[in-house]
Amino acid sequence: MLLWMAVLLFVPCVGKTAWLYLQAWPNPVFEGDALTLQCQGWKNTPLSQVKFYRDGKFLHFSKENQTLSMGAATVQSRGQYSCTGQVMYIPQIFTPTSETTMVQVQELFPPPVLSAAPSPEPREGSLVTLRCQTKLHPLRSALRLLFSFYKDSHTLQDRGPHPELCIPGVKEGDSGLYWCEVATEGGQVQKQSPQLEVRVQAPVSRPVLTLHHGPTDPAVGDMVQLLCEAQRGSPPVLYLFYLDEKIVGNHSAPCGGNASHLFPVKSEQDAGNYSCEAENGVSRERSEPKKLSLKGSQVLSTPTSSNWLVPWLPASLRGMMVIAAALLVYLRPWRKAGPLPSQIPPPAPGGEQCPLYANVHHQKEKDEGVVYSVVHRTSKRSEARPAEFAAERKDSSIIYAEVRCLQPSEVSSKEVNIRNTLQESLGDCEEVLC
């Protein structure tokens, strides 16, 4: 009786420590390895009603099977495992519990890191290289890894052997979120990198400046708005506003678009040429200037060589007309001054002189016609020396205020008789009649 009681007390105590033990393989365990747990009895004693636990929590139950397949091991497979099972020890059946076994799953490779060279903010048109970087555990360095690259919801490269992806001549449309994935050949282990934002820096286009004010030119006290916009260019964009070459304001557009500058007109000094400038760290562009004129103000400009004569042309013409009128007024008294005094020509060669006759027909002041008749008598001896005579005649000049030749119908019979008498008396003299 006493012997039987000693057996009953001894068996449970021994069973808890030695009757069951738990094994996990392979050892060591790496990510992707097929993890297997086996609950074994002392000296391969058959077990039934086997239960597996992880970290004290029930994991699996099997009536006859003492092995549990955990599938591909992951980092989450780590923990303390144990098992229980019924052991038949005649004449008694009891359920011992194994000691805990610590399962450490080794990381096959760390999560990859995606990088962009030379920069995740490349300039438009440059070459960008994406690198997916990771490293196998030294004990599993013979494994082959495959690399995939993604942008937003698109696949750029699927399971390739190269850990780099080149994007030549990037454009603004290549901006977005990129990531990569590394996997073993069988796909048991797959790991993704954190997302990398790539922002292609596009240069700003030439901005356009618009002036907003009332329907007419603004006056002192009115408000004027300057609106500057670059149609393209990577944000953020900084806008600078200029009056001539002086900065009058600056505004930033963090998301791109336009910017405005509002100001009141304080004086005529606010008139002038306004422009704006857009800058985003890649390029800088200046707009065409826009002129702002104030109501009632006059802006003087320096004349250029091409147009300085234009304003003075009417004044010059008026001056010439005034001078011409003055000359006419000055010379008008000579018109009706009557017969001019006769001028005696120099003595003819040989001591003879040619008598000078003057036939003056002077009408009343209201008439227009004034007739002067001049007659020179030239000796025949002078015909042999025409050149000397001509030279001498150059020295004598006759000036008339007005000379008009009469028409034959206007010559009276009395004047004809006088002219004939003169011709007969002069003989060899030459008559010159105007």
Number of domains in the chain: 3
Q: Report the C-alpha gap between 53 and 66 in whole angstroms.
A: 13
Tens digit of each residue's pLDDT, the chain (434 residues): 344 444 444 444 444 446 888 999 998 999 999 999 999 888 878 888 999 999 999 999 998 888 999 999 998 999 999 999 988 776 778 889 999 999 999 999 999 999 999 999 999 999 999 999 999 999 999 999 999 999 998 999 999 999 999 999 999 889 999 999 999 998 899 999 999 999 999 999 999 999 998 888 899 989 999 999 999 998 899 999 999 999 999 999 998 899 999 999 999 999 999 999 999 989 999 999 999 999 865 443 333 333 434 444 455 566 677 677 766 666 555 444 444 444 444 444 444 444 444 444 444 444 444 444 444 444 444 444 444 434 444 444 444 444 444 454 444 454 445 455 445 544 443 433 33
Shared domain for 160 and 213, answered yes or no, is: no
- Residue 333's identity, in one-letter code, is P
Is there a contact between 154 and 173 (Cβ–Cβ < 8 Å)?
A: no
Q: Report the C-alpha gap between 259 and 227 in whole angstroms.
A: 6
Shared domain for 159 and 182, answered yes or no, is: yes
Shared domain for 236 and 218, answered yes or no, is: yes
* 203 CB burial (10 A radius; 0-12, 13-18, 19+): buried
Residue 342: predicted pLDDT: 43
Indicate whether 174 belongs to any domain: yes
Pull the structure tokens for residue 239.
């806008």
Asked if the bond preceding 28 is cis, omega within 30° of 0, the reply is yes
* Cross-strand partners of 238: 252, 279
Domain boundary among 265, 292, 319: 292
HSE at residue 61, side-chain half, CA atoms within 13 A, is 5
Which residues have C-beta within 8 Å of that of residue 143, sequence separation ≥ 6? 108, 136, 184, 185
Q: CA separation (Å) from 144 to 135, 148, 187, 333?
A: 11, 14, 11, 125
Tokens 């150059």, located at residue? 394
Residue 369: predicted pLDDT: 47
The C-alpha R_g of the chain, in whole angstroms, comes to 63
Shared domain for 93 and 125, answered yes or no, is: no
Residue 347: predicted pLDDT: 46
Domain boundary among 103, 124, 157: 103
Is there a contact between 175 and 200 (Cβ–Cβ < 8 Å)?
A: yes
Q: Report the C-alpha gap between 262 and 162 in whole angstroms.
A: 56
* 288 Cα distance to chain centroid: 11
Indicate whether 233 belongs to any domain: yes
Shared domain for 163 and 226, answered yes or no, is: no
Indicate whether 371 belongs to any domain: no
Q: Report the C-alpha gap between 173 and 151 in whole angstroms.
A: 11
- Residue 282's identity, in one-letter code, is V
Residue 401: predicted pLDDT: 41
Q: Report the C-alpha gap between 16 and 265 in whole angstroms.
A: 97
Indicate whether 372 belongs to any domain: no
Indicate whether 136 belongs to any domain: yes
Q: State the CATH number of the domain containing residue 78.
A: 2.60.40.10
Is there a contact between 137 and 107 (Cβ–Cβ < 8 Å)?
A: yes
- Residue 298's identity, in one-letter code, is Q
Shared domain for 37 and 83, answered yes or no, is: yes
Indicate whether 358 belongs to any domain: no
Q: Report the C-alpha gap between 67 and 60 in whole angstroms.
A: 10
Indicate whether 260 belongs to any domain: yes
Measured between its terminal Cα atoms, the distance across the chain in Å is 190
Q: Domain limits at 67?
A: 20-103
Is there a contact between 85 and 48 (Cβ–Cβ < 8 Å)?
A: yes
Residue 332: predicted pLDDT: 56
Is there a contact between 213 and 223 (Cβ–Cβ < 8 Å)?
A: yes
Domain boundary among 292, 314, 331: 292
Indicate whether 403 belongs to any domain: no
Shared domain for 32 and 99, answered yes or no, is: yes
Q: Report the C-alpha gap between 52 and 310 in whole angstroms.
A: 109
Is there a contact between 154 and 167 (Cβ–Cβ < 8 Å)?
A: no
